[in-house]
């Protein structure tokens, strides 16, 4: 198994550590393998070491310990300009004294490509990002979204096999962001490029990636496809960080393979699926997604676990209803229900009974 994953690995981090000041480890023991053509997103809070990892891969920082391999070759001693990695910077880093066409032609020039071939490739790259008419302009004469596209085109024009993007959409408004998210994934898949994408926007990570690496505290907390990440978080940090989440605190009362009984702090006992809790008596955090909770008796499934709740707030949001409840002492318990014609609308102060399936309820570390 380990062998086969090594064989088709394109990018490999092996036991990589990084420290800037010799006192703190910014990256602690990073292990990551990335097959060719995959779109991997590094997701994590600010300061978790995402940019540092990217910079080590690009060659602008050296790993304090460990090995980084590209296509099986260790790149620790290869200078950045020989790595052949396309890179999109957060501030785009388009050269302000060159026109757009000159910016795009730069990587081809330094590779000694002939003029006519260069022009042809530049034109193709501009057309690819639908900026064909802008070749003669300066970067300062473009809007943020246009600059972003040019930065993308410049990172792709010399046909690298690996492209790194560091929060490329950070400066754009929501609508443009969504459009660009789609364009980037489309281009990456069409061209078959391996992509490492950095963001701290979890929606972006979920919608764009083949796999997401959730970073925290210099470590990968979970590396999984988006659906797995959302539905089966491996620890409470991932559960909290990805999507909206309800947590109830308690203690493990009984644990038995795939089943666990958790006694909540107000005495209530509930059935959960244990994830990273192992012993009776351990503190645990129970996590349930808001959309997996049901209050409509007619819709509740067989075997659902029910519990009493008090409605604190009911918010009409168009496509969904968002209700804030008090459950087992937690006043921030949120549930989301689809706005269907037969759906019951709740009122503040109402006492109701809510329910969920035990497999949607994860017992995680506290």
Ligand X SMILES: Nc1ncnc2c1ncn2[C@@H]1O[C@H](COP(=O)(O)OP(=O)(O)OP(=O)(O)O)[C@@H](O)[C@H]1O
Concatenating the DSSP letter of every residue in 3-18 gives HHHHHTEEEEEEEEEE
Angle (nearest 5°) at CA 103 between 101 and 106: 105
Output the residue with the shortest Cβ distance to Mg ion.
Answer: 51
Q: Interaction with ligand X in 35-64: which residues (CB under 6 A)?
A: 44, 46-52
274 binds, among Mg ion, other proteins, ligand X, none (CB under 5 to 8 A by kind): none
Q: CA 130 to CA 327: how far, in whole Å? A: 52
Output the residue with the shortest Cβ distance to ligand X.
Answer: 51
Q: Give every CB contact of residue 43 below 8 A, 6+ residues apart in sequence.
A: 50, 199, 200, 202, 205, 212, 213, 214, 215, 241, 242
Stretch that binds Mg ion, among 43-51, 146-154, 339-347, 349-357 (CB under 5 A): 43-51
Q: CA 332 to CA 323: how far, in whole Å? A: 10
110 binds, among ligand X, other proteins, Mg ion, none (CB under 5 to 8 A by kind): other proteins
Letters for 83-112 (x = contact with other proteins by CB under 8 A, - = none) are xxxxx-xxx-x-xxx--------xx--xx-
Which of 200, 211, 289, 362 lies at the binding interface for ligand X (CB under 6 A)? 200
Beta-bridge mates of residue 212 = 41, 224
Q: CA 357 to CA 281: how far, in whole Å? A: 23
226 is an interface residue for ligand X by CB under 6 A: no
- Cβ of residue 211: shortest distance to ligand X, in angstroms? 18
> In 3-state terms, what secondary structure has residue 255?
strand
- Cβ of residue 251: shortest distance to ligand X, in angstroms? 34
58 binds, among other proteins, ligand X, Mg ion, none (CB under 5 to 8 A by kind): other proteins
Total residues interacting with ligand X, rule: CB under 6 A: 11
49 binds, among ligand X, other proteins, Mg ion, none (CB under 5 to 8 A by kind): ligand X
Q: CA 250 to CA 252: how far, in whole Å? A: 7
- Cβ of residue 89: shortest distance to other proteins, in angstroms? 5
Which lies closer to other proteins via its Cβ, residue 86 or residue 290?
86
Yes or no: say if 332 and 244 are a contact pair by the CB < 8 Å rule. Answer: no
Which lies closer to other proteins via its Cβ, residue 99 or residue 330?
99
Q: How far is CA 232 from the centre of its chain?
A: 15
Q: CA 164 to CA 40: how far, in whole Å? A: 10
Which of 60, 124, 244, 278 lies at the binding interface for other proteins (CB under 8 A)? 60
* Half-sphere exposure for 287 (CA within 13 Å, toward CB): 27
> In 3-state terms, what secondary structure has residue 264?
strand
Q: Interaction with other proteins in 109-138: which residues (CB under 8 A)?
A: 110-111
Which residues in 205-344 belong to E strands, given as ranges? 211-216, 219-224, 246-256, 259-264, 269-274, 283-288, 305-316, 320-327, 330-338
145 binds, among ligand X, Mg ion, other proteins, none (CB under 5 to 8 A by kind): none
Which lies closer to Mg ion via its Cβ, residue 51 or residue 202?
51
- Cβ of residue 76: shortest distance to ligand X, in angstroms? 18
- Cβ of residue 19: shortest distance to ligand X, in angstroms? 9
Binding residues for ligand X, per CB under 6 A? 20, 26, 44, 46-52, 200
Binding residues for Mg ion, per CB under 5 A? 51
Binding residues for other proteins, per CB under 8 A? 58-60, 79-87, 89-91, 93, 95-97, 106-107, 110-111, 154-155, 158
């Amino acid at each position: 198994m380990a062998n086969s994953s090594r064989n088709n690995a394109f990018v490999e981090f092996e036991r990589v550590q990084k420290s800037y000041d010799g006192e703190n480890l910014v990256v602690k023991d990073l292990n990551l393998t990335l097959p060719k053509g995959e779109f991997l997103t590094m997701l994590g809070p600010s300061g978790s070491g995402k940019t540092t990892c990217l910079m080590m891969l690009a060659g602008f920082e050296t790993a304090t310990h460990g090995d980084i391999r590209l296509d099986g070759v260790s790149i620790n001693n290869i200078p950045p300009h020989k790595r052949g990695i396309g890179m999109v910077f957060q501030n785009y880093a388009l050269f302000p004294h060159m026109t757009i066409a000159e910016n795009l032609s730069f990587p081809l020039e330094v590779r000694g490509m002939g003029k006519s071939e260069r022009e042809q490739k530049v034109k193709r790259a501009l057309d690819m990002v639908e900026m064909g008419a802008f070749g003669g302009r300066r970067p300062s004469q473009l809007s943020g979204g246009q600059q972003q596209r040019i930065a993308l085109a410049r990172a792709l024009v010399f046909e690298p096999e690996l492209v790194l993007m560091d929060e490329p959409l950070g400066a754009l408004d929501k609508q443009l962001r969504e459009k660009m998210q789609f364009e980037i994934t489309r281009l990456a898949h069409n061209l078959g490029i391996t992509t490492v994408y950095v963001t701290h926007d979890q929606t972006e990570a979920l919608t764009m990636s083949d796999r997401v690496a959730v970073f925290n505290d210099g470590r990968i907390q979970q590396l999984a496809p988006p659906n797995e990440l959302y539905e089966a978080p491996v620890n409470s940090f991932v559960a909290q960080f990805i999507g909206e989440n309800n947590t109830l605190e308690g203690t493990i009362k009984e644990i038995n393979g795939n089943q666990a009984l958790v006694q909540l702090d107000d005495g209530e006992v509930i059935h959960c699926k244990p994830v990273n809790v192992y012993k009776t008596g351990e503190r645990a955090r129970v996590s349930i997604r808001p959309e997996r909770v049901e209050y409509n008796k007619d819709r509740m499934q067989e075997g659902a676990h029910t519990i009493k709740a008090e409605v604190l707030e009911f918010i009409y949001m168009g496509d969904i209803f968002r209700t804030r409840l008090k459950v087992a002492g937690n006043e921030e318990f949120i549930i989301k229900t689809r706005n269907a014609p037969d759906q019951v609308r709740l009122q503040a102060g109402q006492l109701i009974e809510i329910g969920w399936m035990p497999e949607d309820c994860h017992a995680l570390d506290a």
